[in-house]
């Protein structure tokens, strides 16, 4: 599967690169994608939610009225959950949402996500570039040249490039990830995937390992 390599001006360089069919042209496994996205979102949850229960609310434990003979329902102390300011019944408690997923399932999910983007023609390969210093305007020009304004774009680099990352941070919809940080959720969330030329080789090595 051949794709033209573009420069930062959005023009063809005259070179092309082969996208491995075992990564970009497999039959998508939707269930694996679902499991990978579900795990990613679950692991992002802090799980620090907490509400005070009956034993944690400040107040007297004295019975507020006698049990019988009042003509109304029986009541215990003022911390009863049916009273305003009382403790909450079955409220949320701190917990961990972290879950594990088999490495092979994760790999299948990533390949399925990349293949679905490739089928839709949303894979772009651009020659390697960097900036001398973080400059949002220069990154904005690249996005504009690739005709990806007002789109969610994911730029994948072979290694972490701090200047490129900082240049993209203030641009809505733009995201920069290295191969090692790539995940199924980010792939599916993006409208277009832009690979740096050297990242394709690193991607092959990533799945081979």
Angle at 149 between CA 129 and CA 142, to 5 degrees: 15
State yes or no: pLDDT of 208 exceeds 90: no
Q: What share of the chain has pLDDT > 70, as a percent? A: 100
* Domain boundary assignment for the chain: 2-29+101-208, 46-96
Tokens of 20: 């491995």
Q: What is the pLDDT of residues 108-159, one digit of tens each?
A: 999 999 999 999 999 999 999 999 999 999 999 999 999 998 889 999 999 9
Cβ-in-10-Å burial (0-12, 13-18, 19+) of 70 comes to: exposed
**Average pLDDT across the chain, whole number:** 93
Categorize the per-residue pLDDT at 30 as very low, low, confident or very high, splitting at 50, 70 and 90.
Answer: very high
Q: How far apart are CA 29 and CA 16, in angstroms?
A: 28
State yes or no: pLDDT of 63 exceeds 80: yes
Query: Could you tell me which residues come within 8 angstroms of residue 177 by beta carbon, excluding any fewer than 6 positions away?
Result: 154, 155, 156, 157, 186
Q: What is the pLDDT of residues 33-50, one digit of tens each?
A: 999 999 999 999 999 999
Range 2-29+101-208: architecture per CATH: 3-Layer(aba) Sandwich (3.40)
State yes or no: pLDDT of 69 exceeds 80: yes
Q: What share of the chain has pLDDT > 90, as a percent? A: 90
Q: Is the pTM of this model over 0.85?
A: no
């Amino acid at each position: 599967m051949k794709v033209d390599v573009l420069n930062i001006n959005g023009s063809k360089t005259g070179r092309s690169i082969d996208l491995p069919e075992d990564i970009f042209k497999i039959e998508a496994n939707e269930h694996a994608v679902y499991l990978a996205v579900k795990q990613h979102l679950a692991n992002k949850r802090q799980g620090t939610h907490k509400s005070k229960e009956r034993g944690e609310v400040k107040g007297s434990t004295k019975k507020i009225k006698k049990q019988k003979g009042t003509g109304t329902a029986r009541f215990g102390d003022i911390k009863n959950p049916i009273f305003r300011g009382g403790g909450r019944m079955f409220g949320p408690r701190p917990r961990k949402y972290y879950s594990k997923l088999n490495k092979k399932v994760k790999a299948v999910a990533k390949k399925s996500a990349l293949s679905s983007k490739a089928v839709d023609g949303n894979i772009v390969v651009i020659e390697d570039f960097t900036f001398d210093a973080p400059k949002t305007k220069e990154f904005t020009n690249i996005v504009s040249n690739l005709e990806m304004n007002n789109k969610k774009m994911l730029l994948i680099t072979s290694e972490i490039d701090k200047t490129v990352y900082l240049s993209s941070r203030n641009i809505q919809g733009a995201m920069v990830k290295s191969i090692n940080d790539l995940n199924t959720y980010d792939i599916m969330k993006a409208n277009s995937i832009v690979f740096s030329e050297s990242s394709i080789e690193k991607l092959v090595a990533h799945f081979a390992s």
